[in-house]
Amino acid sequence: MEEFVIATLRYGTPLVYVTLAGVLAQRAGVWNLGLEGLMIIGCCAAVLGLVQTGSLLFGMALAVALCVIASALLWFVIEKLRANPIIAGLGMTGLGLGGTDLAVQAIYGSQATVNAPYGLPRLGTEFGDFGVLSVLVAAMPFVVFAFWALLRRTRFGLQLAASGEHPFAARSVGVSPARMRLIALCVGGVLCALGGAELALGSLTIFAYGMTAGRGFMAFSAVIFGAGHPIASVAASLFFAIVGALGIRAQLVFGDRVPNDLLLALPYIATVIGIWISARLRGGAKAASAFGELRDY
């Protein structure tokens, strides 16, 4: 049982951080499909920064800085150039995947996996079996609570939600939805960096091409599933993590008797089912998804 909880937390913690980034963007009215790309930039920058300088702090700082810059670029394209957020987000994802690939090849000359000498600090033996988890796992509940409080119990949170739901209302009380979106995306960039760093340095201490494997999209789905509510969305992402951990567990238990590749598909299938359920519960967007376009009014 403990093993299973640990597996779930390992799978789920990066997902939770990135989900929070998605929640911020969603509440500000941006469909952020660039989460996948931002997350892998976080993975790559943290590992390469650590490997190249030997300093974990530098790696983390590099991850945060690059993710924030990439988020600001995405904001510029969506808000200022008025690009379609979904396509631009997919472009950002492609840029993250391609850019990290290019960076690894530029440094190492091949697409090989990069091994880090060590990872994030662990909780340590006083936590028993849970000691193998990183500090970011332990911090996760507090971060979730902090963002819940920020989004649901502060005026800033209300203004952010107004910017997404009814931008004209926000503007008519003097709040700039554009600035709110910039803040939401950049803070989301920090969260993506943390999620990426946890994925690469939490338990694995490696960077491999495409290692996020759709987790950014899963986080986005969790946001849709949770209707942009921080707690509900985080719960949805933990649900996907449980499914993922079950798949891993099944591989260990059943070995070759079940097709491993299909077990790997479980989280994606769970995501589809989650989206379907949430659409059924809320009536869905039968006619007009408006292609995720930003709203001015």
Partner 1 sequence: MNTGGQREAAVIEAIPSEAPSPSALQCRDISVQYGEVAALVGVSLAFAPKLIHAVVGQNGAGKTTFARVAAGLVKPVSGTLAIGGKEIPTGNVGLARAAGVELVHQNFALPPSFTVAEAMEFGAERGRPFFSRRGLEARWKKHLENLGVRAGLRDRIRDLPVEAQQGVEIARALVADAKVLILDEPTAVLSPSGIETLFERLKSLKASGVTIILILHKIREVLGIADTVTVLRGGRLVEGPVAARATNARRLSASIIGAQAEQEIAGDEAALVGATDEIKAAPVPAAVSQAAPVLAMERVFTRSDSEGPGLEEASLSIGRGEIVGVAGVEGNGQRTLVRVLANLVDAQSGRILLGGEDITKTPLSERRARGLRVIPFERNSEGLSLSSALWENWSARQLVLGSALKLINPARYRKACDASLKEWDVRYHTTAQPAGSLSGGNAQKLILAREIDADASLIIAAQPTRGLDVGATAFVWRALREARARGCAVLVISSDLDELFDISDRLIVMLSGRIVAEFRPPYRLGEVGAAMTGAH
Partner 2 sequence: MTARLFAVGRAIAFVILALALCGVIFEFAGYSAPEMFQSIADGAFLNPGAWQGSLRWALPLFITATGVIISFRSGYFNVGAQGQFYIGAIGTTFVVDFMNGYPAALVIPLCFIAGIAGGAIWALWPGLLRVRSGADEVITTLMGNFIAGLILIYVTGGILKDPSGTGQVMASRPVAPAYRISSETGLSPTIVGAAIVVGVVMWILVNRSAFGVLAGLAGRNPIMIVWQGARMSRLGLAGFMLGGGLAGLAGAMEVLGPNGRLVSGFLPTLGFTAILIALVAGLSISGAAIVSLFFGGLASASLYLPVLAGLPAAAIDIINAAIALFITARAAPGLGWLAARRRAVGGA
Q: Hey, is 280 helix, strand or coil?
A: helix
Q: Is 276 in the site for partner 1 (CB under 8 A)?
A: no
Ranges within 162-191 binding partner 1 (CB under 8 A): 162, 165-166, 168-174
Confirm or reject binding of residue 260 to partner 1 (CB under 8 A). no
12 with 241: CB under 8 angstroms?
A: yes
The smaller minimum CB distance to partner 1, of residues 112 and 149, is found at 149
Q: Does 158 bind partner 1 (CB under 8 A)?
A: yes
CB 197 within 8 A of CB 120: yes
Number of residues located near partner 1, criterion CB under 8 A = 19
Measured CA to CA in angstroms, residue 165 lies from 99, 129, 175, 182, 205 at distances of: 33, 44, 13, 16, 40
Token output for 149: 């409080």
Window 75 to 114, contacts with partner 1 (CB under 8 A): none
Question: Closer to partner 2 at the Cβ: 6 or 193?
Answer: 193
- Residue 81 binds which one of partner 2, partner 1, none, with CB within 5 to 8 A depending on kind? partner 2
Q: How far apart are CA 140 and CA 144, in angstroms?
A: 6
Close Cβ partners of 272 (under 8 Å, ≥ 6 residues apart): none
Binding residues for partner 2, rule: CB under 8 A, are: 33, 37, 73-74, 77, 81-84, 86-88, 90-95, 97-99, 101-103, 105-106, 111, 168, 213-214, 217, 220-221, 224, 259, 261-262, 264-265, 268-269, 271-272, 275-276, 278-280, 283-297
- Interaction partner, residue 173 (partner 1, partner 2, none; CB < 5-8 Å by kind): partner 1
Q: Which does 217 bind (CB under 5 to 8 A by kind): partner 1, partner 2, none?
A: partner 2
- Alpha-carbon distances, residue 145 vs 77, 139, 140, 177, 224 (angstroms): 31, 10, 9, 24, 19
CB atoms within 10 A of CB 39: 34
Token pair, residue 126, equals: 């006083």
Q: Binders of partner 1 among 118-157, rule CB under 8 A?
A: 149, 153-156
What amino acid occupies position 111? Q
From partner 1, partner 2, none, which one binds at residue 220 (CB under 5 to 8 Å depending on kind)? partner 2
Q: Which residues bind partner 1 (CB under 8 A)?
A: 149, 153-156, 158-159, 161-162, 165-166, 168-174, 283
